Structure 1
Amino acid sequence: MTGVSASTAGGAHAGGVHGASRGTPAVRQAGVWNIANILTMIRLLLVPGFVALLLADGGYDPAWRALAWAAFAVAMITDVFDGHIARTYNLVTDFGKIADPIADKAIMGAALICLSWLGELPWWVTAVILGRELGITVLRFWVIRFGVIPASRGGKLKTLAQGTAAGMYVLALTGPLATLRFWVMAVAVVLTVATGLDYVRQAVVLRRAGLAAERAARRDAATGPEGTVGEVGPAVPTATASEALVATAASAAGPAERTGEAPPAAAERAGQAREQSQEAAGARQGGGETRR
């Protein structure tokens, strides 16, 4: 008997469990259906509607062009807010990472292509802008294993200039405003080329640094922690000083010393050998005279 009622114990246990659950906040995983992704999907859905409005009635009706501009403006505004909301409220998802850049390029590409199709924007302008966007996308994948090229301030200004210029071309402007939109588009083209070259420079620097780091890592792995290549074999024993002196004396000694005989005995044998050779030579000479 503890003197504690079952209800009290149960309440304390329940309170402990709830307290533990309150003390350990759950990590919220952002789902696909969040406000940032919804804005991105709205921008994607606006692309076909924008094209239909821009090309309605031959593409030259000011009323339809105004509606097309409204759709384009909404798409550009959602482009500003969806990324900011996703980063601020931790709503970044894999879907958003893929869909957001696709939506950006889709709405801008649709506007430029339609304007060039209507003859209001030179095709080379469309080619430069879209070629740059496609090239930068490929460039990012080229260096993605070494790092990410962040969006620069120039890139953001480029996006603003492109959106403003394209929006002014979508509207049926005349007079000074038509001249102004030409210069705004010229600024957009310059920023497009300049920031594209800067991205190329950053990609080359990033790739070189990454390759250098990989080579250094492979070199460190090959040489080992002490900086020695391979393993050192066992030491080969060398002759001592006394052994070297004995070998030198043996090589300098004559035949008699190497055979262990005394010098007089060796001289006597050498004399006997000379006598035998002389006798043999005399015998050969005598035989030769008899034959002649």
Structure 2
Amino acid sequence: MTQARSAQPSAWNIANLMTVVRVALVPVFAWLLLREGGTSTTMRVAAFLVFGIAALTDKADGELARRRGLITDFGKIADPLADKALIGTALVGLSILGELPWWVTGIVLVRELGITLLRFWVIRYGVIAASPGGKAKTLLQTIAIGFYLLPLEGFLRLLSEITMGVAVVLTVVTGIDYVVRAVRLRRGRGKEA
């Protein structure tokens, strides 16, 4: 009697293709954002559209992979790296243009690098799932960056600054929460799924 083995999905699937497309859009986005010193409204709107498309692929690829059983080791690694590349490029680009303080970019990048290193530190003990706060952080960062990419003034510019401020607070709070959960997992006191 033979046991049926569950077939692992191929790394060559639509969800992973969307992740690869997101990675490929990062340099296009950076070029559009920084072109003409960031002063061209047309280029800024184009950068906003490319950023938006890339951000939508982030949401779509994960849902598609879960719904169709297309979760692969490649996707587990490439998807968060693609997200970090997109968000990091946007923050650095906006800071280069003088539109976002470098300390904001630094806080977000240090947190993301730290969380990536923590994941490697606890990987043999388990995986820490994204928390609702972490998902809210990502959503707010994406919305705030979208606002910053557009040539907004007045109240809308203030709204972008407030949104980014809340995103930075969530970045710090969820980073601390992740460290606490990682330490508990490593010590064996907490089981995360």
Q: TM-score, normalised by structure 2?
A: 0.93
The amino acid that maps onto 1:113 is V
Aligned partner (choices 146, 153, 169) of residue 148 of structure 2: 169
Which residue of the other structure, out of 87, 98, 122, is the alignment partner of 2:101?
122
| Aligned structure 1 segments of 4 or more residues deviating by more than 3 angstroms | 24-29
Aligned: 1:156 with 2:161: no
How far apart, CA to CA, are the structure 1 residues paired with 2:186 and 2:11?
33
Task: Confirm whether residue 201 of structure 1 aligns to residue 174 of structure 2.
Answer: no
Alpha-carbon distance in 2 for matches of 1:76, 1:187: 19
1:81: which partner in 2? 60
The residue that corresponds to 2:158 in the other structure is 179
Q: Deviations over 1:209-266 (max 9, x none)?
A: 26xxxxxxxxxxxxxxxxxxxxxxxxxxxxxxxxxxxxxxxxxxxxxxxxxxxxxxxx
Confirm whether residue 102 of structure 1 aligns to residue 88 of structure 2.
no
Match of 2:72 among 90, 93, 99: 93
**What is the alpha-carbon distance in structure 2 between the residues aligned to residue 147 and residue 41 of structure 1?**
26
1:64 equivalent in alignment to 2:43: yes
- Deviation of residue 29 (structure 1)? 3.4
The structure with more radius of gyration: 1
| Residue in structure 2 matched with residue 144 of structure 1 by the alignment | 123
Match of 1:51 in 2: 30
Could you tell me which amino acid in structure 2 is paired with residue 36 of structure 1?
A
TM-score, normalised via structure 1 length: 0.62
1:132 maps to 111
Q: What is the identity percentage for the equivalent residue pairs of Structure 1 and Structure 2?
A: 57
In the alignment, what sits opposite 2:20? 41
**Secondary structure of 2:188 counterpart:** helix
Q: 1:27 Cα deviation (Å)?
A: 4.5
3-state DSSP of counterpart to 1:173: coil
Compare relative contact order (CA 8 Å, sep 6+) and give the higher one, 1 or 2.
Answer: 2
Q: Deviations over 1:21-51 (max 9, x none)?
A: xxx9885431122110111011001000000
Is there any run of 5+ residues in structure 2 with no aligned partner, and where? none
Alignment of 1:234-273 (within 5 A): none
